[in-house]
């Protein structure tokens, strides 16, 4: 919390500093948002290229999801899914 009481205005220097700091944060976020959009467009292009080559993009997305996950969590999830499939009679025991 600030040591400045709420009923006292900031000094001109402090207000100027806060204004510049705020402007700096906003401009940095805007630059990062532009980079994020550019990267998202690049990823979209890669998926389009993979699709044009004959790859199933939903399978690629699933592989990416699997590669991001922790091996133990993935094994536990796969065991639960297998158990549910067995319970539904969709796979052999």
Buried b / exposed e over 32-56, threshold 16 CB at 10 Å, is eeeeeeeeeeeeeeeeeeeeeeeee
Q: What is the pLDDT of residue 8?
A: 59
Give residue 2's pLDDT band: very low, low, confident or very high (50, 70, 90): low
Question: Which CA distances in Å does 50 have to 13, 35, 45?
Answer: 55, 23, 9
- Asked if the structure places residue 5 within a domain, the reply is no
Structure confidence at residue 14 (pLDDT) = 83
User: Residues with Cβ < 8 Å from 47, sequence gap 6 or more?
Assistant: 57, 60
Specify if 54 maps to a domain: yes
Our count of domains for the chain comes to 1
Residue 74 lies in a domain: yes
Q: Please report whether residue 75 resides in a domain.
A: yes
- Range in 35-39, 55-59, 68-72, 88-92 with the lowest mean pLDDT: 88-92
Asked if the structure places residue 93 within a domain, the reply is: no
Lowest mean pLDDT of 3-17, 34-48, 61-75, name the range: 3-17
Residue 4 in any domain: the answer is: no
Q: What is the mean pLDDT of the chain?
A: 90
Give the predicted TM-score (pTM) of the model.
0.64
Give residue 20's domain range: 12-87
């Amino acid at each position: 919390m600030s040591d400045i009481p709420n009923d006292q205005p900031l000094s001109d220097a402090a207000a100027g500093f806060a204004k510049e700091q705020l402007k700096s944060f906003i401009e940095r976020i805007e630059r990062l948002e532009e980079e994020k959009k550019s990267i998202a467009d690049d990823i979209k292009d890669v998926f389009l290229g993979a699709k044009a080559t004959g790859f199933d993009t939903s399978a690629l997305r699933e592989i990416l999801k699997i590669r991001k996950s922790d091996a133990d969590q993935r094994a536990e999830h796969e065991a639960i899914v297998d158990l549910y499939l067995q319970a539904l009679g969709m796979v052999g025991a």
